[in-house]
Amino acid sequence: MDRDRDRNSGRGRGGAGDGRVVVVGGGVVGLTTAIRLAERGLRVRVWSRDPVAETTSAVAGALWWPYRIEPEAEVGGWSLASLRRYEELAADPAATGVRLVPGVHADTVLDGLGDWAKEVDGLRQLPPEEVPGPYAVGLAARLPLIDMPVHLDWLRARFEGLGGSFERRAVSGPGFAEAAAEARVVVDCTGLAARELVPDPRLRPVRGQLVLVENPGVDSWFTAADGASSETTYFFPQPGRLILGGTAQEGDESSEPDPATAAAIVARCALIRPEIARARVLGHRVGLRPARAGGVRIEAEPLPGGGLLVHNYGHGGAGVTVAWGCAERAAELVHEG
């Protein structure tokens, strides 16, 4: 009912003027932002250079958890808003791709987390003897684990069901003049491409490499991610596969899987679950996370001719985790503008 009221009260009002908005970027951030704007009654088009299945979001693991993302003061609220939405979507996992799955964050303590952790149901410190692998501490939780190909298809269908249109269309830069010529409000959800389109030199790629294997019977997730290291260890059971990771290689823009890196990923995961060493490899994935010095940018600025440009990018490796919270903030800026 609240969203129905939003749709009725927001139509044709606020910063969107005549209600026309172009969201540039068709990944998880762009689609959730487009949905939130459409729920407010605006006429929204998404312009995406790539099909949703070929965006960086499609490569994500994707476990809900605030990972390598700033600004700290905002991340907790954005993350919790997204968590609540995923908890709702988990009621229909076959359609939405969202499931609530148990697992362990190794090498992590509750006292080291922000206030947001108090709002995560069931998050608890484990006794040392219950922490897998060579780790002395860890947390147990039941968190949203998202099958991104399914979820991205659901997001697009949800958006189009609200009357939105998804268009394969690239934007050249710098600037967003092409989009601004067709809508008074442009929302920049271009991820790493904002480095050239804005331009924003604070953006940098953080390369993530994954290995997909047949699942040998693993039904819970595991992570051990040192924020200061370029190597991480995690596995996520998804329908039809087990996703193994990973890397966090700053400044590396190679999109080709590295065989030595893949072998090291498998070996690290097999230290936790030895059966992974014998699992048949199904494929490899590489994605470039859009990290930004200073953290996520959600900010409005005027466009020539009286238009409005709203930025929503720089989410690093936590775009899925904060997508809905950031979408709501971006939608607020559109309305206020």
Whether 320 has a binding-site annotation, put simply, is: yes
Whether 293 has a binding-site annotation, put simply, is: no
**Interior angle at CA 52, CA 48 and CA 56, nearest 5:** 90
Contact in structure between 134 and 272 (CB atoms under 8 Å): no
Whether 108 has a binding-site annotation, put simply, is: no
Whether 141 has a binding-site annotation, put simply, is: no
Whether 230 has a binding-site annotation, put simply, is: no
Counting Cβ atoms within 10 Å, is residue 321 exposed (0-12), middle (13-18) or buried (19+)? buried
**SS3 category, 153:** helix
Concatenated DSSP letters for 171-240? --SSS-HHHHTT-SEEEE--GGGHHHHTT-TTEEEEEEEEEEE--SS--SEEEEE-TT-SEEEEEEEETT
Whether 57 has a binding-site annotation, put simply, is: yes
Nearest to 232 by CA among 274, 190, 192, 261: 261
CB 138: neighbour CB atoms within 10 A? 23
Whether 44 has a binding-site annotation, put simply, is: no
* Tokens found for residue 148: 């991104």
Whether 316 has a binding-site annotation, put simply, is: yes
Q: What is the distance between the alpha carbons of residues 267 and 269, in angstroms, rounded to a whole number?
A: 6
Q: How far is CA 23 from each of CA 18, 82, 183, 296, 319, rounded to the nearest angstrom?
A: 15, 19, 10, 17, 16
Nearest to 145 by CA among 49, 79, 236: 236
Whether 289 has a binding-site annotation, put simply, is: yes
Tokens 């030595």 locate to 260
Whether 86 has a binding-site annotation, put simply, is: no
* Tokens found for residue 175: 């600037």
Binding residues for D-dopa: 234, 289, 317
Q: Which residues are annotated as a binding site for FAD?
A: 56-57, 171, 190, 316-321
Q: Which residues are annotated as a binding site?
A: 56-57, 171, 190, 234, 289, 316-321
